[in-house]
Amino acid sequence: MTASVPLTRQSAAAVVDLLKSGEVTPLDLLDAVEARVAEVDPKVNALPTLCFERARDHARWLMARPVAERGRLAGLPLPIKDLAEVAGVRTTFGSPIYADNVPKRSNLVVETIENEGGIVFAKSAVPEFGAGGNTFNEVFGATLNPWDRTRSASGSSGGSAVALATGMAWVAHGNDMGGSLRNPASFCSVVGLRPSPGRVARDHGVLVDSLLGAEGPMARNIEDMALLLDAMCGEHPLDPLSLPRLAEPFRNAAQRPRKPVRIAFSADLGITPVDPEVAAICRAAAENLARDGVIVEEAHPDLRQAHDVFQVLRAFHYAASHRQKLADHPDLLKPEMIWNVEKGLRLTPTELLDAEEQRAAMIDGTVAFFDDYDLLLTPATIVAPFPIEQRYVEECAGTRFDSYIDWLAIAYAITLTTAPALSMPCGFTSTGLPVGLQVVARPRGEAALISGAAYIEKLLAVTPATPIDPR
């Protein structure tokens, strides 16, 4: 990178190096990103809540400390998804119920990021309570895909993905249950990682031991994503599932791309239709690996129970988390939210027990699967970005879906296995729309996943396409 390259177009890793060398300050970065937001965000609606005054106060506090004590991010600005509280900043969860909510304390993941030198300057757009794979809500409206503003950015981390793709952020926070990091990354040609449960400590919510949700990093390339993961990870007593920070940073794994010996490729995991063009683009990526000497085989774990298991466990999670909102504000919840909460309230103990038993078998099978393969590759999302006015994908390749979440199966099946998974840029359709590749590794195998993905990134050479101006 050179001084002639605008700061907002440089990588997060390069900018953090500039911060640590003293060549730029956190205030310089805030000035640059504020100007970029003013120029771009009115066109895409990705960052509906800004907090630059708070950010500059934090920057000045950080700059008063020695560089060595400014954390891994050293003053790097970033947006926080509007599902995570930031103290003193409007946090709506995308819901009219919380349209004027200003929390007094930050979510645990926000505290962790700020303790590592991250400076929060905005909240990124979400669908209501993160439900559904399209980022729109009744508080702020729809977030538009910068590759084609008539298209969806997916969800629920749609605002974060759009901010990254357009140069309004170097890294961004997201979270993921059924693909909420991976789908927007795919639709916007950026990188999103869902780590193994516990890798990033988080507020536990009502279900203290739930394995479904995970906090994770988003960025424009693998190394930048790993940089943010290093700042997010670690254990905390408030999260009983949280894991200790590893001795070696994940950024080191990104800087040492590792060519896998044997990988599995599956266009559909045996459970979902996939748009033929999307499948072909992802298959071509696997073929590129094969030409480079990697053993590539058509295989996947047995995930046939994924639909029923995820439907049950997700519904239970929504009922536990949102039943009181349905009782108090039924007129303010979108139909998909109401459907999911009511489904959870109707569950029987037998349905829950069966789902837990089946999930355990899926985890066992997945761990055994990675005895034979270094990585599993699939499409990150089964379609390219769809029209923004469409609430969700209703059908694909001639198959009509029964519910608004069925189209997310290729992501939520992996969620159930507890394996870490990321979405990374893979290519573009004939009409210029992004397609993401999902890369999966053994549970708790983030380092191997990141080094393998860094190798794939270098081979495919797709990620330099961002940032872009909205089209």
Looking up residue 284, the CATH number of its domain turns out to be: 3.90.1300.10
Residue 439 β-bridge partners: 377, 422
Q: Which residue has the higher pLDDT, 275 or 132?
A: 275
Work out the average pLDDT over 373-385: 98
Question: Residue 2: inside a domain, yes or no?
Answer: no
Question: Residue 470: inside a domain, yes or no?
Answer: no
Straight-line distance from the first to the last Cα atom of the chain, in angstroms, rounded to the nearest whole number = 26
Q: Which residue has the higher pLDDT, 4 or 469?
A: 469
Nearest to 428 by CA among 278, 289, 288: 278
How many helices (H) and strands (E) the chain has is answered by 14, 15
Q: Which residue has the higher pLDDT, 206 or 296?
A: 296
Work out the average pLDDT over 180-206: 96
Question: Residue 82: inside a domain, yes or no?
Answer: yes
Taking CA 192 as the corner, what is the angle to CA 195 and CA 126, rounded to the nearest 5 degrees? 105
Which range marks the domain in which residue 170 is found? Answer: 7-465
Work out the average pLDDT over 237-262: 97
Q: Which pLDDT score, from 0 to 100, does residue 2 have?
A: 52
428 pLDDT exceeds 80? Answer: yes
* Residue 450 phi, psi (nearest 5): -70, -45
Quote the CA–CA distance of 258 and 388 in Å, as a whole number.
38
The residues, any chain, with a CB within 8 Å of residue 378's CB and separated by 6 or more, are 265, 266, 267, 268, 269, 282, 300, 410, 437, 438, 440
Question: Residue 331: inside a domain, yes or no?
Answer: yes
Q: Which pLDDT score, from 0 to 100, does residue 1 have?
A: 44
Quote the CA–CA distance of 160 and 392 in Å, as a whole number.
19
Count structural domains, the chain. Answer: 1
Question: Residue 208: inside a domain, yes or no?
Answer: yes
Q: Which pLDDT score, from 0 to 100, does residue 3 have?
A: 60
Question: Residue 375: inside a domain, yes or no?
Answer: yes
Nearest to 222 by CA among 254, 184, 252: 254
Q: Which pLDDT score, from 0 to 100, does residue 465 have?
A: 84
Average pLDDT, the chain: 97
What residues are annotated to the active site? 81, 156, 180
pTM of the model: 0.97
Question: Residue 37: inside a domain, yes or no?
Answer: yes
Work out the average pLDDT over 268-295: 98
Whether the CB-CB separation of 183 and 154 falls below 8 Å is answered with yes
Question: Residue 442: inside a domain, yes or no?
Answer: yes
- What percent of the chain is predicted at pLDDT more than 70? 99
